[in-house]
Each structure stands twice: as C-alpha cells, then as structure tokens.
Amino acid sequence: MVLWRPLAEAARRVFSGEADVALQDPERDAAFTIAVIGLGAKLAKADGKVTAAEIQAFRQIFRVTPDAERHAQRVFDLAQQTTLGFESYAKQLAKRWRAFPSLLEDVLDALFYVAAADGVISDDEIAYLSRVAEIFGLSDGEFRRIKTSWLGADADDPYVILGVEHDISDADLKRAYRRIAAANHPDRCAARGSPSVCERLATQKMAVINAAYTRIRAERGLGAAR
C-alpha cells in the first residue's frame, strides 16, 4: 500500500537504518493507515459539511494502491459521518509514533492542507486540529507555528508582538526583548516631556510586551524572566 506520500517519505528518512522496517514503516502499518484516513475524514466533517475540495485534497496527499482503494473508501465514508471518535484515532497515532514527533507533526500539517482545501479553515476545524496537536504531544508553540504557516500570525501572537521569528534562539529572544523594552519604557516618555496620556499608553504597551515575553518563556520552559 502506498500511503500519504509526504509522510511516507519523511518516515523513510526518520527510520533509515532501523532494523525492523516492517514494524516501523508507516507504509506497511495498517493501523497507521486507518487512523490517518479516519482523522482526515473526520476533519472534513468538523465544520459540518464534507466538500468535494476537501476530498480531492485528501486524495492528493494520501494515495492507496488500486486494490486497496475500495477498503480505504469504506473507512473514509464511515469516518466522515461524524467527528465523534476522532480522538481515539489521534491517540492511536500518538501512542504508536510518540518517539517520532516529526512524523506526527507531518500528519498535522497535512490535516491543515485538507482543512484549507475549501478556501477557509473554520473555527471548528481549528479546534479539531488544536485537540489533535494536544493529543500528539505538540506544544502550544509548535501548534502555533504550524497554524501560522497556513493562516498567518494572530494579532496576539507573542512573537509578532515582540517582532521576532518563532525559531529565534533563547539568547536572541532575551536580547530582542531588552531592546524593545528599553525603546518603549514609559520612563522614556517622561524624559521627553510627553503628555501624561502618552505615558499611560506607553505603560499599557509595556505591559503587553512583558506579557508576550513571559508567555514565550513559559512555553519554552525557561521559567520566570530575569
């Protein structure tokens, strides 16, 4: 069976050199096949309607051999009837492939591709994808990074607030924060003789900057800011 090609190729890279390919390769893993089909079908149903564009997108990245097409279609048809049960599929994948988070991340990225196929990723689909990411053990930061690649950054994205990239190093993050904080500190407004209203706005802005920095540090497990 030829599975979801980008994922299968990633898996081959991850598992190159593994002794037992038959047990490790997703291309030969029936449970992986069923779980991924189930997640894709239930995602398409998440916003209430399975569209032809979503089905086509799924077929573009998930392919089976002709002799397996009928079985794959049966799994998809059953799964798309309701979103109920999607967590069990996600948990199956998380349990079996927890040692290979890059593969689980590829699954999530591909699910975003299906969700975006009809031109819009709905709030219900975002909630679905967020829950799958949580079950996969992906952090909030990792989910935000994948989401941002499809939807752009949210206005309240702490990285956007600080004007830094999501993959910035911890050391560079600290330097960027100190630079931004120094440039926007309310004391600078007072030193320039700015009106009191400007000082209040600067105080509010500084609070937003501090909150963004604190949030990123918490997500990275860096502890309290120093």
Query: Which has more pLDDT, 46 or 138?
Result: 138
* Predicted local distance difference test score (pLDDT) of residue 129: 95
Q: Tell me what pLDDT residue 72 has.
A: 67
What is the helix (H) or strand (E) element at residue 195, kind and residue range? none
Phi (first) and psi of residue 65, to 5 degrees: -70, 155
pLDDT of residue 14: 39
Of the listed ranges 7-11, 96-100, 117-121, the one predicted with least confidence: 7-11
Give the Cα separation of 186 and 223 in Å (integer): 25
- Taking domain 159-219, whether its CATH number is 1.10.287.110 is answered by yes
- Give percent above pLDDT 70 in the chain: 73
What whole-number distance in Å separates Cα of residue 36 and Cα of residue 106?
11
User: Could you tell me the pTM of the whole model?
Assistant: 0.63
The predicted structure's pLDDT at residue 53: 82
User: Six-digit token pair at 168?
Assistant: 């910035």
Q: Looking at per-residue confidence, does 149 or 181 come out higher?
A: 181
Average pLDDT over all residues of the chain: 76
pLDDT at 174: 94
The residue ranges of every structural domain in the chain are 5-152, 159-219
Distance CA 42, CA 79 (A): 6
Return the pLDDT at 15: 38
- The structural architecture, per CATH, of the domain 5-152 is Orthogonal Bundle (1.10)
pLDDT digits (tens, 9 = 90+) for 140-174: 878 888 888 788 877 778 988 888 888 899 999 99
Res 161: pLDDT: 85
**Angle in degrees, CA 195, 176, 150, rounded to 5:** 105
* Spatial distance between the Cα atoms of 59 and 71, rounded to a whole number of angstroms: 14
* pLDDT of 4 higher than 50: no
Handedness of CA 63, 139, 51, 91 (dihedral sign): positive
For residue range 17-74, list pLDDT tens digits in order.
332 333 355 555 667 777 888 888 888 788 777 778 877 777 776 666 666 667 667 7
Q: Residue 112 pLDDT more than 80?
A: yes
